[in-house]
Structure 1
Amino acid sequence: MTSDVSTPERRQGPAVLRGRAVPQTTTDQRLLDGRGSADWVHADPWRVMRIQAEFVEGFGLLAELPQAVSVFGSARTKPGSEEYELAVEIGARLHEAGYAVITGGGPGIMEAANKGCDDAGGLSVGLGIELPFEQKLNDYLDIGLEFRYFFVRKTMFVKYAQAFVVLPGGFGTLDELFEAITLVQTGKITRFPIVLVGTEFWGGLLEWIRTTMLPSGKISPEDLDLVHLTDDPDEVVRVIVEAHREQERQAREEAAARAAAQAGADGT
């Protein structure tokens, strides 16, 4: 629309509004007037504020976590089952190796890993999610936080963990697994170990990746090395510890090389 002296215009923050887009009230009037519909609290700009608040709350609460491992798996796994007890053992072993345990905070595998860590005296963390059906945080948490948005929650899983352990699960577990693999594969995050637990459960998926995705050129041969498959809790911990030791060794070598290069530059 071409502007002229008869066309109303208002500057509203960084925006310029003209003609029919000009509101009949000011921003302050709408803020201070308690009358009218409350639909605005469900509008996208307000959602942005809620999203920002979730990031701020998560970053603030988790910033001082020690080294941690995120453990994923089905919420439907029953207490006392073989998979549940395996997750309990893994949670305890991770604590003994010096790691806090982060889960989705719910029942099943999540509860089991938190329980194992908590019973062993470790720091147990749960990052829950608001769902249409009731799923409260489990009882084995030192720190519990519930999120509205999956993508904020998944950011916390990645930002505050140095490894992923993935036990049998459903679509949510697959989502978390492949997001982790993608982030490592594309270099979006520092390469860290991803350990699948359950050779019988995960074997078919890995075989399909090896025999279908790889031959068709959808992935590279080295991508197969991004995950490690085992049934042994001791091997889970060993893979993670050895990977971190190797990362620390490489970091020391890189720091020494930078220092040597700087010393050479200063001497010229």
Structure 2
Amino acid sequence: MASPSYRLAALDQDFVLGDSMRGVRFLLEYAKAEEALRAWGVRSTIVVFGSARIGEDGRPDHMRWYREARAFGRIASERGGALRGRIGEPRDNVIATGGGPGIMGAANRGAADVGAPSIGFNITLPHEQEPNPWSTPELTFRFHYFAMRKMHFAMRANALVVFPGGFGTFDELFEILTLRQTGKERAIPIVLVDKAYWNSVVGFEALVQHGMVTAKDLELISFAEDAEGVWSELLTRGLHPGGENWVDPHQPSLQSESVTG
């Protein structure tokens, strides 16, 4: 009875954390977040990406980006449907971030400013990332697998808003851009904040000139300079507050199957 083989499989950490159970752990990361999101009635989200290194103090450009991210979190939460709270009524366009500091914390903070819930999809990193204090505790998750975290970002997204950032922000942006380009994600609007920044760090036009993307591919993105501009651009590009964009992620079309599973 003391032998490891006699332990209940679900209570045997050595077994559950072994190589053969990687698929099971992947499923658990999907199911745990999914259950909590359903319990809170989160039907759709607006995903906000941006650097963890940007704070409300310091460099003027950093301060401006932080301020606008916080303002956008507030605007989207007030106008997008996240504050709906009657029993059985879904929440739409709930702010969802990577759960960390910087721009992520600013967007979550903006939602908290108006009493709206928001989501933090944290990831376990070698240098531990702690959740910011503004994402809703019951909607603050920690993932081991980047792939599952990205899936949760994509599957409920009504829109993507990307503030200035580095490698991690690029990774997340181009993941969604690739899904949009290949038709594996719905036609959600993608808005980049601060056109001068993005044109200085990514040669979008050069990609066209070298034949790596088409000019039409660049229509997948648009730009805005401040929080009100972002909201206006999202509406112009098809965002409808209240969930009219929403498609049930549990009944995927063939085009969205790779995103929603």
Please give the TM-score of this superposition, normalised by the length of structure 1.
0.74
2:27 alignment partner in structure 1: 52
CA deviation profile, 1:189-219 (whole Å, cap 9, x unmatched): 111001100122112245x2213x2122221
Higher helix share: 1
Of 218, 221, 229, which residue of structure 1 is paired with 2:215?
221
Look up the SS of the partner of 1:69 in the other structure. Answer: strand
Q: Which residue of 2 aligns with 1:254?
A: none
Q: Aligned pair 1:91/2:73, yes or no?
A: yes
1:68 corresponds in structure 2 to 45
Q: CA contact under 8 A between 1:91 and 1:114: conserved in structure 2? A: yes
Equivalent pairs, count: 218
Hey, what does 2:157 align to over in structure 1?
A: 161
**Contact 1:97 1:237 survives alignment (8 Å):** no
SS at match of 2:108: helix
Q: Structure 1 CA distance, aligned partners of 2:226 and 2:79?
A: 15
Alpha-carbon distance in 2 for matches of 1:218, 1:87: 31
Moved more, 223-232 or 79-88: 79-88
1:73 and 1:38 map into 2 onto residues whose CA distance is: 36
Deviations 1:75-120 (A, max 9, x none): 1112332221111111111112213100011111100000011102
**Structure 2: gaps (5+ residues):** 58-62, 81-92, 248-261
SS, match of residue 244 in structure 1: coil
Aligned to 1:32: 6
- CA-CA distance at 1:39 after TM superposition: 5.8
**RMSD (Å) for aligned C-alpha atoms:** 2.5
What TM-score do the two structures reach when normalised by structure 2? 0.76
Alignment of 1:191-230 (within 5 A): 191-206=187-202, 208-211=203-206, 213-230=207-224
SS in 1 for 2:31: helix
Residues 121-158 of structure 1: per-residue CA shift (max 9 Å, x gap): 22211110111112211111222111111110010011
2:101 is aligned to 107
Residues 33/91 of structure 1: CA separation in 2 closer, same or farther (3 Å cut)? closer
Secondary structure in structure 2 of the residue aligned to 1:61: helix
Maintained 8 Å contact 1:62/1:160:
no
Q: Which amino acid aligns with 2:239?
A: H
| Residue aligned with 1:102, SS | strand
Aligned to 2:185: 189
| Aligned residue identity for 1:210 | E
Deviation for aligned residue 1:172: 0.7
Tell me the CA shift for residue 42 of structure 1: 4.3
Which of structures 1 and 2 has the bigger CA Rg?
1
**Unmatched 5+ stretches in structure 1:** 1-28, 252-268
Cα contact 1:73–1:167 (8 A) shared by 2? yes
> Quick one: percent identity of the two aligned structures?
37
The structure showing larger relative contact order (alpha-carbon pairs under 8 Å, at least 6 residues apart) is 2
CA contact (8 A) 1:107 1:138 kept: yes
Distance in 2 of aligned mates of 1:128 and 1:103: 8
Q: Superposition pairs for residues 230-245 of structure 1, below 5 Å?
A: 230-242=224-236, 243-245=238-240
Change (3 A) 1:126 1:248: closer
In structure 2, the partner of 1:79 is 56
